[in-house]
Amino acid sequence: MIKQVTRHIVQNEPLLFEQSSPGKKGYQLPALDVPESDPEKVLGRENVRDEIDGFPEVSEFEALRHFTRLSTWNYAIDLGLYPLGSCTMKYNPRINELVARTEGVAWAHPYQPESLSQGCMEVIAALESALAEITGMDAVTLQPAAGAHGEFTGILMIRALLESRGNARKKILVPDSAHGTNPATAMMVGYTVENIKSNDRGMVDLGVLERVVTEDVAGLMITNPNTVGVFEENIRKICATLHDKGALVYMDGANMNALVGVARPGDFGVDVMHLNLHKTFSTPHGGGGPGSGAVAVAKVLTPFLPGPRLKREGDKWHWNYDLPQSIGRVRAYYGNFGVLVRALAYIMAHGGNGLRQATLDALLNANYIRTLLEPYYELAYKAPSMHECVFSDDRQAKHGIRTGDVAKRLIDYGFHPYTVSFPLIVRGAMMIEPTETEGKRDLDAFIDAMISIAKEVEETPELVAKAPHSTRTLRVDEVTAARKPVVRWIPRSTASQAAD
């Protein structure tokens, strides 16, 4: 049988190592304009390596074709809607990619003289200022590399403040609806975690909170709107309860797409929060990163910010390292600068009004989905949804179908699944966040797909249970992958096992 390259679903594409040929190369360096050093003479024979065993040897074109084919096996925002809750998969504007590659900006070395870095420093200052305005907070650091990194930075600052007052205290309160990074972060800062149960509206229970906030509590990590997409209506009281006992409030800003221009955490009592620039501010996910976890703080925490900090001296920016109470560095250099450029470009393109409008559009889209799907899926909580809505798989479970199965069947309809089984407080959760990017046409297509699947669950559940059927690979065996992990390619004596 002739193997042909046809559509992407059936094309063969081995790994790079399986299609290498000795001597092939995809690069060309200029000729040396200095005498060539002999590595063994210069470094000592024992310090020189043998060739890199197994490393690929392919031509430039083979490399391009390989990666192009791989790319066709991916779903992406450019192709279709991602209803992933709390991920905010919005359009990644291409102008961001262009400006981030501007030569004087992309090639700047972090240690180059300040006199030759004013442009970069101005960008950092402009973004810090814009984010402070958006969050209603007093100062911003752009050093952390991602949301979890920002959480770590924020909790470290809380600890530093409390230590300066004589007692770091012992524990951090985390709602049972929180993202997993929250408790993991608290542990890394030397605190223990106390989980607090949500009430029947999916929100922090004030009564429970008042009982558990003691002088041993350093702070509360809260997401607002929370992971069921609902605004914490008691947020002011919650912050007051913590403050009354000398504790602080950390807000996980993953859901900021619901608040920009509509509500400002600094105004309702939050002491420190992080923002995910790769969520709310449109920087691309790139298959898992990079991100940037900007952290905004209230005045009380500004002395503890990671250093260095920008300082204006005359008409020039200067890096100030004289920060006696700073928590130190959370990473080398200044932050994921390339990501900051993209976030700033996004903010500039929208402007104040545009940012608020984007929020309203996001809320509209989420509520539209919620209203039209309510007859078919069990709504988890009745409180008004903001930018995302959460259903439970209770109705489908009666037919032996769970949220994971519905999610896989959605793939056959041409969509990426929603967030499956999170938050943990909802049984069989389906968390859906369309973002403001999606127009009515795509939303209707998504809704129609979900309704069709709901019918299939009742009439032909097998179809849903064994989904997806139309993808390049069928359901993947995650059990064997975990029992016998194979995490790198090793030369095999038998012929390649490329999928076909």
Residues in region 65-124 near another protein by CB under 8 A:
66-68, 70-79, 82, 84, 87, 89, 92, 95, 97-113, 116-120, 122-123
Q: Which amino acid is at 180?
A: G
Could you say which residues in the range 299-358 bind another protein, by CB under 8 A?
Answer: 306, 327-339, 341, 345, 347-356
- Degrees, nearest 5: CA angle 84-193-255: 25
CB of 364 to another protein, least distance (A): 6
Provide, rounded to whole angstroms, the least separation between the CB of residue 33 and another protein.
4
Q: Does 285 bind another protein (CB under 8 A)?
A: yes
How far is Cα 254 from Cα 147, in angstroms, rounded to an integer? 8
Number of residues in contact with another protein under rule CB under 8 A:
193
Q: Is 400 in the site for another protein (CB under 8 A)?
A: no
Least Å from the CB of residue 233 to another protein: 7
372 binds another protein (CB under 8 A): yes
Beta-sheet pairing, 316-320 with 192-196: unpaired
Least separation in angstroms between CB 441 and another protein:
11
What angle do helix axes 118-135 and 337-373 make, rounded to 10 degrees? 30
Q: Min. distance of Cβ 323 from another protein in angstroms?
A: 12
Task: Quote the least distance from Cβ 458 to another protein, whole Å.
Answer: 24
Residue 383 gets which letter from DSSP? S
At its nearest, how many Å lie between another protein and the CB of residue 29?
Answer: 6
Within 13 Å of residue 413, how many CA atoms lie on the same side as its CB? 27
Nearer CB in complex with another protein: 247/409: 409
Task: Compute the distance between CA of residue 240 and CA of residue 269 in angstroms, rounded to an integer.
Answer: 7
Residues 137-156 that bind another protein (CB under 8 A): 145-149, 151-152, 156
Closer to another protein by CB, 330 or 454: give it: 330
Beta-ladder partners of 194 = 173
422 is a site residue for another protein (CB under 8 A)? yes
| Amino acid symbol at 410 | L
Of residues 118 and 214, the one with the C-beta less far from another protein:
118
183 Cβ partners below 8 Å, 6+ apart?
172, 174, 193, 195
Return d(Cα 228, Cα 418) in angstroms, integer: 13
Residues 444, 253, 366: CA angle, nearest 5 degrees? 15
Q: Which of 368, 394, 402, 442 forms a contact with another protein (CB under 8 A)?
A: 368
> At 47, is the secondary structure helix, strand, or coil?
helix
Within 8 A by CB and 6+ apart from 121, the residues are 114, 310, 317, 319
**Complex with another protein: residue 164 or 458, whichever CB lies closer:** 164
Per-residue contact string for residues 448-467; x = within reach of another protein by CB under 8 A? ------------------x-
Q: Which is nearer to another protein, 148 or 454 (CB)?
A: 148
What does the DSSP assignment read for 349-360? HHHHHHHHHHHH
CA distance 212 to 208: 6
> Residues 249, 271: contact at Cβ < 8 Å?
yes
**Closer of 189 and 296 to another protein (Cβ):** 189
Q: Are 219 and 167 in contact (CB under 8 A)?
A: no
Nearest approach, Cβ of residue 300 and another protein (Å):
20
> Do the strands 171-175 and 192-196 form a parallel or antiparallel pair, or are they unpaired?
parallel
What is the footprint of another protein within residues 243-262 (CB under 8 A)?
261-262
Q: Is the CB of 267 or the CB of 458 nearer to another protein?
A: 267
Q: How far is the CB of 245 from another protein (least distance, A)?
A: 21
Q: What is the torsional sign of CA 102, 144, 305, 301?
A: positive
| Residue 272, φ and ψ in degrees, nearest 5 | -155, 145
Query: Least distance to another protein from the beta carbon of 3, Å?
Result: 14
- DSSP lists the bridge partners of residue 198 as 204
The reply on whether position 273 binds another protein by CB under 8 A is: no
Q: Which is nearer to another protein, 106 or 300 (CB)?
A: 106
Q: Decide whether 44 or 166 has the Cβ nearer to another protein.
A: 44
Least separation in angstroms between CB 231 and another protein: 6
218 and 248 Cβ atoms separated by less than 8 Å? yes
Using CB under 8 A, pick the residue from 165, 476, 493, 494 that binds another protein.
476
Minimum Å gap between C-beta 378 and another protein is: 19
At 260, is the secondary structure helix, strand, or coil? coil
Residue from 11, 268, 445, 451 in contact with another protein (CB under 8 A): 268
- Span from 180-188, 204-212, 427-435, 452-460 in contact with another protein (CB under 8 A): 180-188
Q: 3-state class of 156 per DSSP?
A: helix
Binding letters toward another protein, positions 22-61, x by CB under 8 A: -xxxxx-xx-xxxxxx-x--xxx-xxxx-xxxxxxxx-x-
Please give the residues from 190 up to 249 whose contact with another protein meets the rule CB under 8 A: 190, 193, 231, 233, 235-236
Beta-bridged to residue 273, according to DSSP, are: 251, 296
